A and B are shown apart, each in its own frame.
Chain A
Amino acid sequence: MTSLSRRSRISSLIPQTIMFLFALISIVITLGIAVILITESYLFFRDPAVNVWGFLTGKEWQPMIDKFGFLPLLNATLTTSVIAMSLGIPVGLSVAIYLGEYASDRTRAILKPVLEVLAGIPTIVYGYFALTFMTPLLRSIFGEGVVEIYNTASAGLVIGILVLPMIATMAEDAIGAVPKELRLASYALGGTKLETTFKVVIPAALSGLSATFLLALSRAIGETMVVALAAGAGPNLTANPFEAAETITGYIVRISGGDVSYNSVDYNSIFALGLVLFIITFTLNLISRKISNKFHQEYE
């Protein structure tokens, strides 16, 4: 860096400046989003019918008739995310372990591109996959009377599939970053391959893995298209994953798609919800970064 600027050639300065500008743009955009979310949320919370405590603890969400409790939406978001994680983490981790520790180069050469294809499928396709494949599958297993046509289980499972490539790829990187010496030491002590993997490699990669899971979780929480199509279009506080329930992102999609007029309290409510989502995912990403930074220090 310093040697480059000391030479101070215009030819190297121009691209550097341009790239700096682009980097600046991404920061400005992030700040802009945060500012808009905060100012518009302020409009929402300033409304006499709304108070922050009621917003955080209320059990009914129907802004048109002054019910501003966002627990039903949060509950549905958490339900879909937990279901997604309980599918995505074990499967993604298994794929990662298989790819990192067991697979031959030939199987890797097939499996990796397949995972990448999975990662490249547009989420709207996943949405219709949930609606036209996963939901009928669930209904044929548990019965039509039990599983509603829109339900959080179907959406959650498909989000699990959606985050699977992300988990697999990042987890494999985390496992691959574990120094070879640790494995060799384990073998030298008489550990089998299985023991080495689960008792040495995974614990050593744990910080990288947790960072992966947190990122995947924040991806699942923010996922929109799948839940908008398959999870339901009405707030519903329920613990039953086979019932329809609208998530935070699902509600934002429905309202911003033209459900209410600008400058109404319902319209402003989507910014408050957006702010909540932003805070949740931002926190998760921050924690995940902290964890993975620590992990880098350990082995470099």
Chain B
Amino acid sequence: MTKRIIVLLLAIMVVLPLMAGGSKESTQATQENPLAWMEGPSVEGLPGVNPIKVTGNIITAGSSTVFPLSERMAERFKEEGYSGTITIDSIGSGAGFERFTVAGETDIANASRAIKPAEIENAKKIGRNPIEFRVGTDALAVTVSSDNTFLKNVSMQQLGQIFSTAQLWSDVDPSWPAQPIQRFIPGTDSGTFDYFAEEVFNKQVEPLLAASNLQMSEDDNILVQGIEGSPYAIGFFGYAYYAENAEALHIVDIEGVQASAENVDNGTYPLARPLYIYSDATIMNEKPQVAAFIDFYLSYVNEEVVGVGYFPANKEAIQKGRVAWLEAMGM
């Protein structure tokens, strides 16, 4: 028996250091010159980026609305030579901030709404100071199936009824069919959800959540599929998901205004909203790959944003981000 215990202890002594050894390897090898990637012509005041010389991984998480844009920028970053890994989790703005400000797991938070004061407080507790970079503008798209023949335009008030108390379409407008409304909306941690509640229900989430026939998902493709499935379904999400599925979906005008580049630009589309990414000066200095990626993002986002299905932010807003980048890097 004693022999057995001795052997057991020996085995533990052998196994434990092995387990501990594995985790040590993750510490990053620091480069000799962390800013070696700054090469080539500068763009609007930001230093040029040579992605080939950028090393190390980048972790981002947040808004499913910003996700396609960040994904496109990451793809282009890789195409131009970046050899590391960029993780982009599409989990909703709130969850993205949670990971960035509380858990401190991510380098960049993607968001389809501005950071809240409480979230900044949380970030300060773990020594982070979120810096905001505006990357584009979204026109929140209220969509129905292309089989839907009756809904072309809604007022903000009707929108409120459709997504809360109304059971049947005819409850909102007697000329619409007496069919139950099937609702497909982003989950509660989504910036899109928050934004919609803010604009349509004056920041109240109860009416939106208490509605019947309600399907919620952080995965906008699940919403798209649900809306496509029935002429009596309706939902909303970032414009890019509409643009991607434009044959199967029909976008509804709000107060007679169409979601177009022009109407988003001149501010007449009622559901236009800014898109952001957030990072922190310490992270950008300690992980130069993060600074390089944001530099790259802000330099070229306007070339990609329309292709993804969003609208460029106005010049001043993007420039503000560029200045913030330079300040964060002490340049």
Q: What residues of chain A have their CB less than 8 Å away from a CB belonging to chain B?
A: 8, 10, 13-14, 17-18, 20-21, 62, 64-65, 131, 144, 148-150, 232-234, 236, 244, 254, 257-262, 266
A65 and B216 contact, Cβ closer than 8 Å, known pairs A13-B7, A149-B225: no
Inter-chain CA distance A156–B209, complex, in Å, is 26
A65 near B230: Cβ-Cβ < 8 Å: no
Q: Which residues of chain A come closer than 8 Å to B230, judged between CB atoms?
A: 144, 148-149
Closest to B188 in A: A64
Partner of B8, one of A17, A244, A258, A259: A17
Q: B166 at interface (Cβ–Cβ under 8 A)?
A: no
CB of B209 within 8 A of CB of A64, answer yes
Once the chains bind, are B92 and A258 in contact (CB under 8 Å)? yes
Interface members, chain B 177-219 (any A CB < 8 Å): 182, 187-189, 205-206, 209-210, 212-219
Question: In the complex the two chains form, what is the Cα distance from A78 to B274 in whole Å?
Answer: 43
> Is the Cβ of A13 less than 8 Å from the Cβ of B209?
no
Which B residues are CB-close (under 8 A) to A13? 3-4, 7
Question: Would you give the shortest CB distance from A127 to chain B, in whole angstroms?
Answer: 11
Q: Please report which residues of chain B, range 55-86, place their CB below 8 angstroms from some CB of chain A when the two chains form the complex.
A: 61
Q: Which of B207-239 contact A (CB under 8 A)?
A: 209-210, 212-219, 222, 225-226, 228-230, 233
Is B91 at the interface (CB under 8 A from chain A)? yes
User: Which of B3, B15, B61, B95 is in CB contact (< 8 Å) with A261?
Assistant: B95
**Would you call B130 an interface residue if the criterion is a C-beta within 8 Å of the partner chain's C-beta atoms?**
no
In the complex, chain B residues 230-287 whose Cβ is within 8 Å of any chain A Cβ: 230, 233
Question: Known contacts A21-B8, A259-B189: does B215 contact A234 (CB below 8 Å)?
Answer: yes
Q: How far is the CA of A234 from the CA of B61 in the complex (A)?
A: 24
Kindly list chain A residues whose C-beta atoms are within 8 Å of the C-beta of B218: 254, 257-259
Counting CB contacts under 8 A, is B312 at the interface?
no
Complex: A157 Cα to B211 Cα, angstroms: 29
Could you tell me which B residues sit within 8 Å of A by CB distance?
3-4, 7-8, 11-12, 15, 61, 89-92, 94-96, 98, 102-103, 182, 187-189, 205-206, 209-210, 212-219, 222, 225-226, 228-230, 233
Our pick among A131, A254, A262 for the contact of B216 (Cβ within 8 Å) is A254
* From A144, A258, A259, residue with most partner B Cβ within 10 Å: A258
Identify A65's interface contact among B61, B209, B215, CB under 8 A.
B209
Provide the residues of chain B in CB contact with A266, threshold 8 Å: 188
Q: Which residues of B contact A149 (CB under 8 A)?
A: 225-226, 228-230, 233
CB–CB A262/B98 < 8 A: yes
The reply to whether B89 and A258 contact each other, CB–CB distance below 8 Å, is: yes
Query: Could you tell me the distance between the alpha carbons of A14 and B7 in the complex, rounded to whole angstroms?
Result: 7
Bound state CA distance, A222 and B208, in angstroms?
Answer: 30
Smallest Cβ-Cβ distance to B190: which chain A residue: A259
Contact yes or no, B209 A262, CB < 8 A: no
> Would A262 and B7 be within 8 Å (CB), given that A64-B188, A65-B205, A65-B206 are in contact?
no
* Also in contact, A261 and B182, with CB within 8 A (given A148-B230, A232-B215): no
Min CB distance A183 to B, Å, is: 48
Residues of B within 8 Å of A260, CB to CB, are 94-95, 187-189
Q: Which of A14, A18, A65, A144 has the most CB of B within 10 A?
A: A65
Cβ-closest chain B residue relative to A257: B218
B187's partner among A20, A148, A232, A254 (CB-CB below 8 A) is A254
Q: A245's closest neighbor in chain B, by CB?
A: B215
> Is A259 within 8 A of B95, CB to CB?
yes
Identify 24 residue pairs between A and B in the complex whose beta-carbon atoms are under 8 Å apart, listed by A's number. Answer: A8-B3, A10-B7, A13-B3, A13-B4, A14-B11, A65-B206, A148-B229, A148-B230, A149-B226, A149-B228, A150-B215, A150-B229, A233-B215, A244-B226, A258-B90, A258-B187, A259-B95, A259-B218, A260-B188, A260-B189, A261-B98, A261-B189, A262-B102, A262-B103
A261 contacts across to B, CB distance below 8 A: 94-95, 98, 102, 189
A150 to B7, CA, bound (A): 56
Q: A62-B210, A254-B218 are in contact. List 14 more A-B contacts (CB 8 A).
A: A14-B7, A18-B11, A21-B11, A62-B209, A64-B209, A148-B230, A234-B215, A236-B213, A257-B219, A258-B90, A258-B187, A259-B218, A260-B189, A262-B98
* Chain A to chain B: the 8 pairs with minimum beta-carbon distance, closest first: A258-B91, A149-B229, A258-B95, A259-B187, A234-B215, A261-B98, A233-B217, A234-B214
Most buried by B among A62, A234, A266: A234
Partner of B189 from the list A21, A148, A234, A258 (CB cut-off 8 Å) is A258
Tell me the complex Cα distance, A8–B6, Å.
13
For the complex formed, measure the closest distance between the CB of B135 and the CB atoms of chain A, giving whole angstroms: 20
Given A62-B209, A64-B188, A262-B103, residue A17 in contact with residue B229 (CB < 8 A): no
Tell me, in angstroms, the Cα distance from A259 to B218 when the chains sit together. 7
- Residue pair B89, A64 in contact (C-beta under 8 Å): no
Which chain B residue has the least Cβ–Cβ distance from A144? B230
A21 CB contacts on chain B under 8 angstroms: 8, 11-12, 15
Asked whether, in the complex, the Cβ of B187 is within 8 Å of the Cβ of A17, the reply is no
- Distance (Å) between the CB of A276 and the closest chain B CB? 21
Q: Which residue of B lies closest to A266 (CB)?
A: B188
CB distance from B182 to the nearest CB of A (A): 7
Residue of A nearest to B62 (CB): A258
